[in-house]
Amino acid sequence: MAKRPRTSARTTRKQVTRPILVKTVAQTCNWCPSQWEGRTVDRRPIYARYRYGCLCVHVGRIGGTIRNVIKSGKELVRESIGDRWDGVMTYAELKRHTRGVIEWPKTFRRKGLSRYRRVLSPKAALKRLRKLHQTRAGKTT
Q: DSSP labels for 46-84?
A: EEEEEETTEEEEEE--TT--HHHHHHHPEEEEEEE-S-T
* Least confidently predicted of 95-104, 115-124, 127-136: 115-124
Residues 39-65 have pLDDT tens digits of: 999 999 999 999 998 999 999 999 888
d(CA 86, CA 50): 8
Q: pLDDT at position 68, please?
A: 87
- DSSP class of 99: T
Instruction: Note whether 35 and 79 are within 8 A (CB).
Output: no
Instruction: Note whether 38 and 23 are within 8 A (CB).
Output: yes
First to last CA, the chain: 55
- Omega into 33 within 30° of 0, i.e. cis? yes
Instruction: Tell me the pTM.
Output: 0.68
Closest of 97, 112, 110 to residue 25, by C-alpha: 110
d(CA 49, CA 107): 17
Q: Could you tell me the pLDDT band of residue 8, with boundaries at 50, 70 and 90?
A: very low
Instruction: Note whether 76 and 58 are within 8 A (CB).
Output: yes
Residues 58-112 have pLDDT tens digits of: 999 998 888 888 888 898 889 888 888 888 888 899 999 998 899 998 888 777 6
